[in-house]
């Protein structure tokens, strides 16, 4: 049996829009669980080749990617005391499935929130204050904006499977 590799979400690879002392970001205060919940709950994070929906009720997660390695992911999202958002999901492709966890750290320096993919990513501007063009948080949309696309991808990858329920709103 062929088992698919987990699809891991990645943030931007370009430098931040402002020069920042990365050691200062690392030493800055992590976001609280309440701050993280407010940023992610009932929002869709749109990626270059897919999206993830973070349900408010039950913290269910539903994600998809398209292209040569099309996949769907279903699971839960969680926040930690040390400023991390983690996505635990079972990822399915045409080749098989696997369980995976992807986490992002969030720190606040001044009014700007920085994000880093764990464990070995680089810090970048997630949500600037004042807002900057092309900040990562601009890719977040209120509500479940790609449910129809997720269902289309689910039918393509797992035609007989049933989707896990994900409630919108709250």
Query: Is the pLDDT at 19 greater than 90, yes or no?
Result: no
Per the structure, the count of domains in the chain is 1
Please report whether residue 9 resides in a domain.
no
Q: Which domain holds residue 54?
A: 23-157
**pLDDT at 69 (0 to 100):** 85
Residue 144 Cα distances to 24, 30, 41, angstroms? 35, 27, 10
| Residues 104-152 pLDDT 10s | 999 999 899 999 999 989 999 999 988 888 899 999 999 999 999 999 9
Please report whether residue 6 resides in a domain.
no
pLDDT level of residue 160 (50, 70, 90 thresholds): low
Please report whether residue 110 resides in a domain.
yes
Where does residue 145 rank: exposed (0-12), middle (13-18), buried (19+ CB within 10 A)? middle
**pLDDT at 158 (0 to 100):** 77
pTM exceeds cut of 0.75: yes
Please report whether residue 12 resides in a domain.
no
Q: Which residue has tokens 């991390």?
A: 84
Q: Which residues pair with 103 in a beta bridge?
A: 86
Please report whether residue 15 resides in a domain.
no
pLDDT level of residue 162 (50, 70, 90 thresholds): low
3-state secondary structure (DSSP) of residue 85: strand
Residue 156, Cβ neighbours under 10 Å: how many?
Answer: 13
Please report whether residue 131 resides in a domain.
yes
d(CA 41, CA 38): 6
**pLDDT at 67 (0 to 100):** 87
Q: Which two tokens stand for residue 121?
A: 């990513």
Please report whether residue 8 resides in a domain.
no
Please report whether residue 43 resides in a domain.
yes
């Amino acid at each position: 049996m062929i088992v698919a590799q987990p699809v891991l979400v990645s943030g931007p690879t370009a430098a931040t829009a402002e020069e920042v002392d990365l050691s200062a970001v690392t030493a800055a205060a992590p976001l609280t669980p309440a701050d993280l919940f407010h940023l992610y709950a009932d929002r869709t994070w749109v990626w270059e080749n897919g999206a993830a929906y973070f349900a408010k009720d039950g913290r269910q997660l539903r994600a998809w990617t398209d292209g040569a390695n099309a996949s769907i992911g279903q699971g839960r999202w969680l926040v930690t005391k040390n400023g991390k958002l983690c996505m635990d999901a079972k990822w399915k492709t045409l080749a098989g499935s696997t369980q995976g966890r992807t986490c992002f750290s969030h720190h606040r320096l001044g009014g700007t929130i920085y994000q880093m993919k764990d464990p070995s990513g680089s810090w970048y501007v997630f949500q600037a204050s004042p807002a900057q063009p092309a900040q990562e948080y601009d890719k977040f949309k209120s509500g479940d904006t790609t449910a129809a696309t997720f269902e289309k991808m689910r039918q393509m990858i797992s035609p007989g499977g049933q989707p896990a329920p994900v409630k919108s709103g709250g």
